[in-house]
Amino acid sequence: MNDRSVRVLSLIPPMTQLNTPYPSTAYLTGFLRSRGIAAVQDDLALALVLRVFTPAGLDAVKARALEQPEAQRSASVHAFLDQFAAYRATIGPAIRFLQGGDSTLAHRIAARGLLPEGPRFAALDVYEEVALGSGEGGGEDPLAWAFGALGVQDKARHLATLYLNDLADVLRDAVDERFEFVRYAESLASSQPSFEPLATALAAPPTLIDDWLAELTRAAIEQHQPTLVLLSVPFPGSVYAALRMGQTIKAQYPNVKIALGGGYANTELRELAEPRVFDFVDFVTLDSGERPLLALIEHLSGQRGPQRLVRTFVRTADGEVKYVNLSEPDIPFEDVGTATWDGLPLSRYLSLLDMLNPMHRLWSDGRWNKLTVAHGCYWKKCSFCDVSLDYIGRYETATAATLADRIQAIVEETGQTGFHFVDEAAPPKALKALAQELIRRDLQISWWGNIRFEKTFTPELAELLAQSGCIAMSGGLEVASDRLLTLMKKGVSVEQVARVTKGFSDAGILVHAYLMYGFPTQTVQDTVDALEYVRQLFEHGCIQSGFFHRFSCTVHSPVGQNPADYGVQLIPLPPITFAKNDIGFIDPTGVDHDALGIGLRKALYNYMHGLCVEDDVRRWFEHLPGKVPKATVSRHKIGKALRQLA
The runs of H, that is alpha helices, within 204-278 are: 208-224, 239-252, 263-268
Is residue 445 located within the same domain as residue 567? yes
CA dihedral 155, 156, 162, 164 (to 10 degrees): -150
Residue 498 phi/psi, 5-degree rounding, is -60, -45
> Cα dihedral sign for 358, 161, 417, 398?
positive
Q: Report the phi/psi class of residue 204: left, alpha or beta, with left for phi > 0 and alpha for psi in -120 to 50.
A: beta
Rounded CA-CA distance 292/360 in Å is 36
Q: Which of 44, 7, 10, 9 is nearest to 25 (CA)?
A: 10
pLDDT at 5: 84
CA distance 381 to 374: 17
Amino acid at 264: Y
pLDDT tens track for 84-140? 999 999 999 999 999 999 999 999 999 999 999 999 998 887 655 554 444 444 456
Q: Are residues 440 and 490 in the same domain?
A: yes
| Assigned domain for 445 exists | yes
If you ran DSSP here, which 8-state letter would residue 440 be given? H
Q: Of the residues 129, 152, 174, which one is the last residue of a structural domain?
A: 174
In terms of domains, do 524 and 572 share one?
A: yes
Dist CA 419 CA 423 (whole Å):
12
Do residue 24 and residue 58 come from a single domain? no
Q: What is the pLDDT of residue 127?
A: 58
d(CA 628, CA 532): 13
Q: How far is Cα 95 from Cα 83, in angstroms, rounded to an integer?
A: 18
Q: How far apart are CA 635 and CA 381, in angstroms?
A: 31
Q: Is 261 exposed, middle or buried (0-12, 13-18, 19+ CB in 10 A)?
A: buried
Asked if the structure places residue 127 within a domain, the reply is yes
Q: In what order do the strands lie in the sheet with 446-451?
A: 369-371, 418-421, 446-451, 470-478, 510-517, 545-550
Long-range contacts of 83-88 (CB under 8 A, 24+ apart): 83/116, 83/118, 84/58, 86/115, 86/116, 87/58, 87/116, 87/167, 88/55, 88/58, 88/59
Is 372 a domain residue? Answer: yes
**How far is it, in rounded angstroms, from Cα 198 to Cα 276?**
10
**486 and 579, same domain (yes or no):** yes
pLDDT tens string 22-77 = 999 999 999 999 999 999 999 999 999 999 999 999 999 999 999 999 999 999 99
Can you tell me the distance from the alpha carbon of 576 to that of 271, in angstroms, rounded to the nearest whole number? 8
Query: What is the reported pLDDT for 138?
Result: 46
Whether residue 195 is found in the same domain as residue 158? no
The pLDDT of residue 2 is 47
How many helices and strands (H and E) does the chain possess?
A: 24, 17
Both 325 and 452 in one domain: the answer is no
Q: Is residue 511 within 8 Å of 545, Cβ to Cβ?
A: yes
Query: CA nearest 488: which of 566, 548, 427?
Result: 566
| Residue 359 belongs to a domain | no
Is residue 199 included in any domain, yes or no? Answer: yes
Using CA atoms of 167, 170, 171, 173 in order, give the dihedral in degrees to the nearest 10: 160
Q: Is residue 179 part of a domain?
A: no
Tell whether 181 is covered by a domain. Answer: no
Does residue 15 have a cis peptide bond before it, meaning omega lies within 30 degrees of 0?
yes
Separation between Cα atoms, residue 418 and residue 473, nearest integer Å? 14
Write a three-state SS string for 493-516. CHHHHHHHHHHHHHCCCEEEEEEE
CATH number at residue 277: 3.40.50.280
Give the residue from 135, 152, 174 where a domain finishes. 174
597: three-class secondary structure by DSSP: helix
Q: Are residues 39 and 58 in the same domain?
A: no
- Do 227 and 302 belong together in one domain? yes
454 and 504 share one domain: yes
Q: Which regions of the chain are under pLDDT 70? A: 1-4, 126-140, 145-146, 148-150, 645-646
**Most distant CA pair in the chain: distance in Å?**
74
Which among 162, 90, 175 has a CA at the least distance from the CA of 121? 162
306-317, pLDDT tens digit by residue? 999 999 999 999
- Domain residue limits at 501: 368-645
The whole-number pLDDT of residue 631 equals 96
Phi then psi dihedrals of residue 8, to 5 deg = -105, 130
Q: What is the CA radius of gyration of the chain?
A: 25
The reply to whether 58 falls in a domain is yes
Q: Is the same domain home to 213 and 285? A: yes
Per the structure, the count of domains in the chain is 3
Contact 555, 384 (CB under 8 A): no
Return d(Cα 197, Cα 496) in angstroms, integer: 46
Are 266 and 376 in the same domain? Answer: no
pLDDT at 295: 98
Q: Residue 623 belongs to a domain with what CATH number? A: 3.80.30.30
